Amino acid sequence: MGVKAGEYTVFSRAFKAYNNEIMPGIVNASGNKITVTTHIQRLQLLDVEEVEQSVKFFIDVRLSWTDPTIRWDPALDTQKTSSIKVPEDTVWSPDITIFSAVSKTFPIPSSRRVVRVNSDGGVVKSTAQIILNPCPLNVNKFPFDSQECLFRIGPWAYDNSEVALRPFLAPKLNISDEEYFRGNSEWKIVSIEVEAYADDSYGKGQVYDEVHYTIKLKRAWPHYFWVLILPTFICATLCIFGLFMPSESSGYRFEKVSLGVMTLVSMSMVLETFSATMPKSSTLPLLGIYVLAEELVCACATLVTVTLSLLHERATTRRWMVPKGLAKMLLWHSYDTHIRTRATSIQPMKGGSVLSPHLSRVSSYLRELESDDALAAQWMRIFDRLDIIGMTIFQVINIIINLAILVGRS
C-alpha cells in the first residue's frame, strides 16, 4: 500500500509499541470501556425470498471508536498529517457483527480492507458485506403488503462493561438518498428505524449492548395489478357475458358449460402461479382470496346458466304453461302482450262444406302450432329477461369484488 512520507513517519511512531491483539483499555489498565458507534451508510436490497422467508442485502456498516493507545500530535509532523489509513488487521477491532444474519459474504477480503486512524485515536472501520437475514413475512395483504425485517448488530464476546455500542442516528435513518439506500424492482425501502437495546438474557449479570435496525419494505403492487388482477377481472367479465348472452340471433339457449369450465381452469392456473412463490401459511393471501372469489362467481354463473338452460328446454318441449305471476313480472311490453294472446288469433272455420271436417283438422293443427309458437315465444322472452337479470347480478358482484380488493390494499 503506497503511503506518503508523513503517513509513514506517523505510522512508525504511533504503532511502534502497539499490540493489536489486546483491547486498548486492558493495555492502559484504565478500566474504561470502549464506546463503539455503529451506522449503516449504504444499504441495497438484492432479493426477497418469500418461500424461505429471508432477505438478501448488500450492506455497509461503519464502526467508529477511540483507541487511546494510538495518538500523535500533527504539529510535530512536517506535513501536519491528521489521519492515516492502515490495514484492518493492524489495529484492534471489536468483534461487532450482524449476528441475526445466517450467512455473510465479504466482497473485499480482510487482507485488503483498511481503516482510517485519526490523530486523536479515533478509528473508523467500514465493512461491506452481502448478508442473508431471516425475515418473517406476513403476506395476508399480498400484493399490497409491507414487511418489517430486523437486523441485530452487536459484539459477540464483549459485554457492555467492556464495549458499549451506540447508534449513530436514532430513532430513524435518513434514507432520502436513493443512491445509498435502494430497493429492487419489486420492493422499496420505506424507512429504517434504529433502537439501542440491552440484552440481559445470558444471565450471570452479563449485559450485551445491541443496536436493532428495523427495515420497512413496501411491495410495488402495480405489476401484480396489470399481470394478475386485471386479466382475472377481464376473464371473469367475459365469462359472465358469454354465459348469459344467446349464442344465436334466434335467441335459443345452448349449453355453455365449456366456457365456464375453461374460465375456471384458467383462474386455477393463475392461483397456482402465485401460490408457488408464497410461503405456506394458515391464511390465504388477499390476491388468493380475490382469485378464489372470482372463480366462485364464475362457477355460480355456470351453475345458474345450466339450470336456466335445463328449465328452458323442459318448458318448451313439455309445453309448460307460463305461471300468471311470472308472466306479470317479466312480460309487460306490447310485444309480450301480443304473443300472450296470439294463440287465439286463428278462429274455427264456419260453414257446412264437404271439406269442412278436413279443414277443421287443418285449422286445429294450425292453431296448435300457433299456440306452441306463442308459448315458446313467451318462454324465450322470459328466459331472455332472466339472462339479463342474472348477468346484471353477477357483473355487480364481480365489480364489488374488484372494488373490495382495491380498497383492501389500504
Q: Is the pLDDT of residue 344 over 90?
A: no
Q: State the Cα angle at 240 between 239 and 246, rounded to 5°.
A: 100
Q: Which three cell numbers stand for residue 313?
A: 328446454
Q: For residue 261, name the pLDDT band (cuts at 50, 70, 90).
A: confident
Rounded CA-CA distance 340/363 in Å is: 20
Residues 146-157, mean pLDDT to the nearest whole number: 93
Average pLDDT, integer, range 237-260:
70
Residue pair 91/70 in contact by the 8 Å Cβ criterion: yes
Cell of 20: 493489536
Average pLDDT of the residues of the chain? 82
**Residue 227 DSSP class:** I
Phi first, then psi: give them for residue 198, nearest 5 degrees: -115, 120
The answer to whether residues 27 and 12 belong to one domain is yes
Structural domain ending residue among the three candidates 195, 220, 245: 220
Greater pLDDT, 135 or 366 = 135
Domain final position from 220, 249, 271: 220
User: Binning pLDDT at 50, 70 and 90, where does residue 28 land?
Assistant: very low
Reported as a single tens digit per residue, the pLDDT across 269-321 is 877 776 776 667 777 888 888 988 998 998 899 899 888 888 878 887 777 77
User: pLDDT band at residue 29, thresholds of 50, 70 and 90?
Assistant: very low
* Contact of 49 with 72, CB cutoff 8 Å: no
pLDDT band at 62 (very low <50, low <70, confident <90, very high): very high
pLDDT band at 17; cut points 50, 70, 90: confident
Other C-beta atoms closer than 10 Å to the C-beta of 161 total 12
Q: For residues 277 and 391, state if they share a domain.
A: yes
Total length of the chain = 410
User: Would you state the pLDDT for residue 134?
Assistant: 95
- Asked whether residue 139 falls in the same domain as residue 261, the answer is no
d(CA 96, CA 211): 10
CB 69 within 8 A of CB 24: yes
For residues 216 and 229, state if they share a domain.
no
| Torsion 69-72-73-76 (CA) sign | positive
pLDDT at 58 over 90: yes
With cut-offs at 50, 70 and 90, classify the pLDDT of residue 125.
very high
Q: Which helix (H) or strand (E) holds 9?
A: helix 5-14
Alpha carbons within 13 angstroms on the beta-carbon side of residue 198 total 10
Nearest one of 305, 316, 222 to 263, comparing CA atoms? 305
Which range has the worst mean pLDDT, 23-37, 91-105, 235-249, 332-346? 332-346
Q: What is the pLDDT of residue 210?
A: 95
Q: What is the average per-residue pLDDT within 362-374?
A: 67
CATH code, 93: 2.70.170.10
- First-to-last alpha carbon distance for the chain, in angstroms, is 55
User: Which one of 204, 220, 236 terminates a domain?
Assistant: 220
What are the pLDDT digits (tens) for 89-111?
999 999 999 989 999 999 998 88
Answer yes or no: is pLDDT of 165 > 90.
Answer: yes
**Facing residues of 194 across strands?**
213
Total structural domains within the chain: 2
Q: How would you write 93-117 as a 3-class SS string?
A: CCCEEECCCCEEECCCCHHHCEEEE
Range of the domain at 375: 223-408
| Shared domain check, 204 and 101 | yes
CB of 286 closer than 8 Å to CB of 407? no
Structure-model confidence comparison of residues 171 and 114, the more confident one: 114
The answer to whether residues 60 and 139 belong to one domain is: yes
Residues 53 and 99 in one domain: yes
- Residue 346's pLDDT band (cuts 50, 70, 90): very low
279 and 362 in a common domain: yes
Residue 372: predicted pLDDT = 65
